[in-house]
Structure 1
Amino acid sequence: MWSCIFSFRAGAQNPSSYYIEEPPLFRGGLVAGANFGQVDGDKYAGYYKVGINAGVTLYTRLNNLFSLSMELLYAQKGAKSNFIKGSSSNIYNIIDQRISLHYAEVPVMLNITDVHKNYVGAGLAYARLISGTETIVTSPNANYNGDDYPFKKYDVSFVATGNLCLVKGLYAGLRFQYSLLPIRTKVDYEFARAKQYNNVWVLRVMYLF
């Protein structure tokens, strides 16, 4: 009889005695990768401009499904020609055209996490221009001065991202980013088509502590 009572009490443990580890409320991390960009509105198409995308990130868990993230990044964007092309009037051949833009950028996104700890998210990014230059080499020489057509001091863009969990804490990510407002409205129509927008794909890795 006593053995039966002892067995019953041993099997009927209080469920509250089990400890279930909650995911952390905040997770910080580092990101590093490459931007592959073009500027929509110039004379060329193609993601030939390669630049740095690197900085820090912070995730705040809202529940088991959703989280908010904010990043502080250094981002190089712009455009690069990949072949010789005629200007609008065909007076000039564009031998080389390069746009180089350096930003301090803050993306803010709402993310969804699956059971395998992969993230997908979307949001907005505000970027402050550190420096921006454009150089054009033509034949015959057009004496183009990019300073006459300045870039805006800021860029507001839409961001969509996906992060695949490789091992605990380490992620591989793919991101698409597009300007919602023109980065430049005053252009030389001999060497540009319209108002200009950043158009960027990003490959990067992220480590969350």
Structure 2
Amino acid sequence: MRPIQKYYLMLLGIASLILCCPAVPLRAQSSESGERGYFDGSKPFYAGLVAGLNVSTVQRDNFSGYHQPGLNAGATVYWHFAAPLAFSIDLLFSQKGAKGVNTANSPYAGTYYEKYTMRLNYLEVPLLLHYIVSPKWQFGAGASYNALISAKETYETIYPVYIDPDRFPFQKYEIDLVASGSMKLYKGLMLQVRYQYSVTPVRKAWDVPQGLGIGNQLNNMFVFRLAYLF
């Protein structure tokens, strides 16, 4: 079985487990402010919009650090199917990649800077199971399916280096594991922080340009975003 097929089956299994979970009656809870309507048992479904920032790096390149910012924006749907549990699915435009600067030396040019940028644009679909601590706080975990829309890679040493995208391709699809925390700020407005790490390669070892990394490359990022639920 190919690796990508195994992750399809994993996502299907997570969804099946949630759908088959015994339905615990939702019971209204009161928040500290006395507000009702958001994860307090008063309704099972919420839809909303999300927008925020990815701060990303790529493991096993030659440039460390979370230096590549990117957009994380789209729509989300929650199903609050049991008193402490909710299931969410997002449809996102998500920008990932890497950026770095190294100092190098040449006997001919002296000290110079190596500058590298990788920009990966994805259509992303995260599937998460959330534990509702209270109408204000929740924590979640799950997986995210990413389909590559476009990729751009630049590298400069003493002079610009052309990286042929056909010779050094990125994978068209990849899967992340996701951990999430959310805090309600006001009514339907939530602050969300996520951590994501690839479990399938962004680019396989034999497709990495010489001098720009060793081994399979993996996305690694933090997400800081706002969500507004209706």
Q: Is this a same-fold pair by TM over 0.5?
A: yes
Shift of 1:134: 0.9
Pick one of 42, 55, 61 that aligns with 1:23.
42
1:170–1:208 contact (8 Å) kept in structure 2? yes
94-103 or 34-43, which moves further after superposition?
94-103
Pick one of 32, 48, 67 that aligns with 2:67.
48
- After superposition, the C-alpha distances for 1:66-98 in whole angstroms (9 at most, x for unaligned) are 010000000000001144357xxxxx9652100
Opposite residue 155 of structure 2, the aligned amino acid is I
Q: Structure 1 stretches (4+) deviating beyond 4 angstroms?
A: none
Shift of 1:155: 1.4
How many angstroms apart in 1 are the aligned matches of 2:221 and 2:86? Answer: 24
Q: Does 1:57 align with 2:76?
A: yes
Matching residue of 2:216: 195
For the aligned residue pairs, the C-alpha RMSD in angstroms reads 2.0
- After superposition, the C-alpha distances for 1:161-191 in whole angstroms (9 at most, x for unaligned) are 1011111111111100011011101112322
Structure 2 unaligned regions, length at least 5: 1-27, 29-35, 106-110
Matching residue of 2:5: none
2:101–2:113 contact (8 Å) kept in structure 1? no
Opposite residue 69 of structure 1, the aligned amino acid is S
Q: Secondary structure at the match of 1:207?
A: strand
Pick one of 154, 166, 172 that aligns with 2:185.
166
Higher strand proportion: 1
Q: Secondary structure at the match of 2:203?
A: coil
Matching residue of 1:107: 126
Describe the shift of the 1:114–1:193 C-alpha distance in structure 2 as closer, same or farther (beyond 3 A). Answer: same
Pick one of 75, 85, 89 that aligns with 1:70.
89
Matching residue of 2:163: 145
Matching residue of 2:11: none
1:133–1:146 contact (8 Å) kept in structure 2? no
Matching residue of 1:134: 153
Shift of 1:143: 3.6
TM, length-normalised to structure 2: 0.75
Describe the shift of the 1:142–1:205 C-alpha distance in structure 2 as closer, same or farther (beyond 3 A). Answer: closer
Describe the shift of the 1:162–1:46 C-alpha distance in structure 2 as closer, same or farther (beyond 3 A). Answer: same
Q: Does 1:125 align with 2:173?
A: no
How many angstroms apart in 1 are the aligned matches of 2:79 and 2:72? Answer: 22
How many residue pairs match? The answer is 185
Describe the shift of the 1:163–1:146 C-alpha distance in structure 2 as closer, same or farther (beyond 3 A). Answer: farther
TM, length-normalised to structure 1: 0.83
The structure number with the bigger radius of gyration is 1
Shift of 1:117: 3.0
How many angstroms apart in 2 are the aligned matches of 1:182 and 1:48? Answer: 20
Shift of 1:203: 0.5
1:44–1:81 contact (8 Å) kept in structure 2? yes
Q: Secondary structure at the match of 1:193?
A: coil
